Structure 1
Amino acid sequence: QNSLPINIAIMSLIVIGGLGFQVSSELINKKSIKKLSVHGKLVLIMSSLLIVGGAFIFFLIEHGNSFTLGGEGAYSKVIQSLFQSVVTRTAGFYSVNIGKLRDTSVVLMIILMFIGGSPGSTAGGLKTTTFGVLFASTIATIRGEENVVIFKKKIPNATIQKALALVMISIFLVIGISFVLTLTEVNNFLDILFEVTSAYATVGLTRGITPGLTDIGKLIITLTMYIGRIGPLTMAFAFGKASKSSKLDFPDANISVG
């Protein structure tokens, strides 16, 4: 738990594996962050924010919890908070008792697992770039800007639509599967949601309920892992019927939103 070299080694491997092969290749070949593509810059910034932000919030929540970080020194609390923030987004290791976490920390870990790593990496989840694109789109909408711009580059509407579709499909899948498991299992909803998100993002963390799941529950979790690993959009494109391109254009419709 408190060995700095071991923690740094494990966290470094996890971060590198979660960046994606494209970003790793760019870092090796271009050797300058300024020369990276927009994709590479977005991956590095989002990954850094999630790691540091996740660790800081985890520390604030758990530093007084006697079952997790409460009995540790300041140095150990910082290291374990950083470690838990890193591993939650892909690796599934843990240095604290996951079953004794406060509910707020559980929600935080669910969010981090749901976002996951980056495209083209060994990590699962929604992906950092998807979250980054939607965040930038939200900011642009609030500011009343017509285009979504990241690092002085315009993001195509098709990319934003794919990101939004991925988020909506992922939310429906995770919530829907969790709802089904509440009918087959006796565990509380938060533990089930944690389990489903962990499976969907192929993280591997559990609050200890996996061995007690019914056979149906274990089968559902297994299928969730496959869906998460293959990707919901990939499966949707594989099983869906591609529509033929149409030359017709339709008038705009005014719909009140929000």
Structure 2
Amino acid sequence: MNRPHDPASPATPPVAPAPYPAPTTRARLRVEIAIVLGLSLGASAVYSVLSIVNRLTQQTALSQQTATLNSPLSSREFFDLAYQVLGVAVDLVPVLLVAFLLWREERPHLGRLGVDFSRAGRDTLGGVGLALAIGIPGIGLYLVGKALDLTVTVVPTNLGEHWWTVPVLLLSALRAGVTEEVIVVAYLFARLRDLGWRTWPIIVTAALLRGSYHLYQGFGAFVGNVVMGVAFGWLYVRFGRVLPLVVAHVLMDAAVFVGYPWAATTFPTLFGLPS
């Protein structure tokens, strides 16, 4: 026979809530970084190192070799456009991955990546100024590198003259700016801080990574991008905002991609193909 419930008797203890997940371990963070870089610019760095070894073991001087940044992907115009747009979209997936990994509930949701649009106007103006400060000396370094046979002849584009050529080149510039600054600066800085790294080792490591995936363009490009990486890294640490870096990078690449046909025609000795 069931006994009546006694109000004075202690209630049945509630089921204990499931424990929170354990904090991310250092080993797990290292694996995460390796996966993110392996899907993005770390893989580019490996290919770039292999490329410069290939170039150096050829009989042709570096300055007489070429590296084309935006090439046709199909002889049929519609499919070329489709492949170009698809390539940009696929290359931005690792950016979505790091945004997912560092998303937080409170606003700004992407604060750990230095993404905050509350001062977008000021950040954009800062990016314009930074593009001028970095871009103009960068052109000079490229020309010096070619003269010293340390840099290949970079051909920013050999896409045909289509109605979509300029928009695709601008998308390509956007891809480079967003991918490099969000992953190499914002994401990598956040995760290396989580691992306990100090500021300057983070800045130098990120700058060397930036230089390494540009090695396929020669040693002048490596040095120039390392210097740019140090400057960008210091600015990011100083202000904690990635948008000015993205704006500067996009503007510099857009100017080079879109302005190349004019530059190669106007100054063929400096920017044209090797004779």
TM-score normalised according to structure 2 size: 0.26
Task: Name which one, 1 or 2, has greater alpha-carbon Rg.
Answer: 2
Bigger relative contact order (CA 8 A; separation at least 6) = 2
TM-score normalised by structure 1 residue count:
0.27
